[in-house]
Copies of this chain bind each other. A is one copy, B any other.
Amino acid sequence: MPRAVPLTRYAIVSAALKIAERDGLDGLSMRVLAAELDVTPMAIYYHVPDKESLVNLVVDAVHDRQVPLEIGTDGWEASLRRRLQSQWDELSRYPGLGAHLLNQPDLGATPHSIEAGVAFFEAAGFSRRGARLAWSFATTYLHGRLSVDARLRGSRSAKAAGIRSKDYVAFGIDAVVAGLRTMLRDERAANG
């Protein structure tokens, strides 16, 4: 018999987000999700074509909460710093999401999102090619860091030498920004 309240895409994605936040993206299976929704695994397939699409919907939902990447009045470096930090804050809630995005084409970003990123670095002074490389560099590092952090959930939070996740992220963001500052200076020097 049909459910009292019919299943919706929205309910599916909500439950998927809940599981991904609690058990990580690796803990999200069609069968676990179905159990959470009190439904047969195959019921989900009526609303979502396959698991890949489901995960994409989860990714979209998280991405929609991102603050846009724009250059504020305090310059591109401060803007980039804010963006990377807020991106880490959002994505680190879902263990395994960074690792997943790292394995997606274009780091799981939409064409629109990539264009915004490239435009940001062009506005900062990079060439189009340099902007594309800069965006990829910053995003690759951040998602890599998120992958590492995913396995630190629940384990001893203090690592060797008493360095915590937030310390690694803070250092990483500083180093990424400093590295890109130098790359921008070098590119400008080379192009006259």
Cα separation A179 to B141 with both chains bound (whole Å): 12
Cβ < 8 Å to B, chain A residues 149-175: 150-151, 155, 160-161, 163, 167-168, 171-172, 174-175
**What is the distance, in angstroms, from A12's C-beta to the closest C-beta of chain B?**
26
Q: Is the CB of B171 within 8 A of A182?
A: no
Contact of A129 with B by CB under 8 A: yes
**Given A105-B151, A144-B147, A147-B99: A168 in contact with B136 (beta carbons within 8 A):** yes
Q: Is the CB of A161 within 8 A of B102?
A: no
Contact of A82 with B by CB under 8 A: no
Please give, as numbers and ranges, the residues of chain B lying within 8 Å of A69 by CB-CB distance. none
Cα separation A110 to B159 with both chains bound (whole Å): 15
Most chain-B Cβ atoms within 10 A of its Cβ — which of A104, A132, A137, A186?
Answer: A137
**What is the distance, in angstroms, from A186's C-beta to the closest C-beta of chain B?**
8
Q: Is the CB of A182 within 8 A of B175?
A: yes
Query: Residue A103 contacts which of B99, B105, B132, B167 (CB distance < 8 angstroms)?
Result: B99
Contact of A128 with B by CB under 8 A: yes
Cα separation A128 to B147 with both chains bound (whole Å): 24
Cα separation A134 to B172 with both chains bound (whole Å): 8
Please give, as numbers and ranges, the residues of chain B lying within 8 Å of A137 by CB-CB distance. 141, 168, 171-172, 175
Please give, as numbers and ranges, the residues of chain B lying within 8 Å of A114 by CB-CB distance. 160
Query: Residue A161 contacts which of B129, B141, B144, B171 (CB distance < 8 angstroms)?
Result: B129
Q: Is the CB of A174 within 8 A of B183?
A: yes
**Given A133-B167, A161-B129, A163-B132: A104 in contact with B175 (beta carbons within 8 A):** no
